[in-house]
Amino acid sequence: MSPEMKEPRSKPTYWDGALVPDTDEHGTGPIAIRLTDEERTSGQTRPDTIQQALTYYHRDGFFLLENAIDDELVDKLYIRMVEDNNTYLSKPHMVWNQGAKTKNVSQIPPLTKEWLHKDFYANVHVMRILENLLGPQPELRFLNANVACPGGTGRQAVHTDVNHRFPTIPFGVVLNTYLQDSSEDNGVTEVWCGTHTAYPHPEQLKTKESGWIRKDLIQDRAKTVAPVLPFIKKGSICFRDLRLWHAGMPNPSSRHRIMLAVDYFAAWYQCPMTLQLPKSVKEMVENDWKISTKGIEWTDGEIDSLEVPFFLNMTQDPGRYLIQTEKGFEDWRARETGVYQFDRGVVNEECYWTPE
């Protein structure tokens, strides 16, 4: 089990002049940092919480923030998204991520005022950490969720979400909030700690267009730091560097495994991706969330989230976007050739770690 932050001591502990928080600085990842009840109630993030978050993010490219969201809110959203999933799977534009065997799908959460709760999308503690990671006014530019449906038998290839050239410093973070306890029993994500800085790009990619990682590098990395299927508590917010290797795993259980996927980018990165929200939540987002809205397009009327096609562009080039269609995922190559190749690869042992 990962070490956790404890309740604050009456006196700080120092080592050779440095403030040493309770968490073991040399533990293996992923690391869980637990907000104290006082932090959650007051909305004030302790400096040593931020210090630990930055330490493990830069080391591992991944950490968990626990005790950030009330269980009642999490359960309510989980129930709604399971109901929505039954409808979404019948949509003609629905596409399984990396093949039907995974039973893994991207599904946008409901986008009405009732469901856009600040704790999920602009959590005060999350924003303080992001501002220290990415700089002032990080930009919300992607709001989605990943659902591992019951009965999946296929896993995803080890991959990175960015298959383009990118900076060698953190420029984007995906926040994955798990809506139920998750482990290898219900399809928790396989995490490869430290791979966000381990190998040069694009040499690490099996093919430039896919983001899938070369087999020889997968085997090599596992000798140093093996992949992990962590236990993640319900309501935990996972900070994942967009460069980090990871892979969706099948969910053999009888219940959906759902995690939100919310991306923030550094303002200096100038990400061209935008997301749509209804004007009915504009005042709430601007006044209560208090985030940069540069990446948000405000639309008239309500938005049926299940009708919104998947859209992605993590590059700095407006023309390199990916959009979901009934023909498959349309990327820049499909727009040039009419051939839809993205996410059509076959996942086999050449795509993931096999212990030697």
> Whole-angstrom Cα distance, residue 276 to residue 278?
7
Angle, helix 47-60 to helix 124-134, in steps of 10 degrees: 60
The matching CATH number, chosen from 2.60.120.620, 2.60.120.1440, 3.40.1710.10, 2.60.40.3620, for 14-351 is 2.60.120.620
> Whole-angstrom Cα distance, residue 166 to residue 315?
8
Measured at the alpha carbon of residue 109, what is the angle toward residues 249 and 229, in degrees to the nearest 5?
Answer: 20
Cβ 128 vs Cβ 261: under 8 Å: no
Q: Where in the chain are the domains?
A: 14-351
DSSP codes, 57-70: HHHHSEEEEES-S-
pLDDT in tens, the chain (356 residues): 344 444 443 466 777 787 765 545 556 779 999 999 999 999 999 998 999 899 999 999 999 999 999 999 999 999 999 999 999 999 988 889 999 999 999 999 999 999 999 999 999 999 999 999 999 999 999 999 999 999 999 999 999 999 999 999 999 999 999 999 999 999 999 999 999 999 998 899 998 778 999 999 999 999 999 999 999 999 999 999 999 999 999 999 999 999 999 999 999 999 999 999 999 999 999 999 999 999 999 999 999 999 999 999 999 999 999 998 888 889 999 999 999 988 888 999 999 999 98
Cβ 78 vs Cβ 183: under 8 Å: no
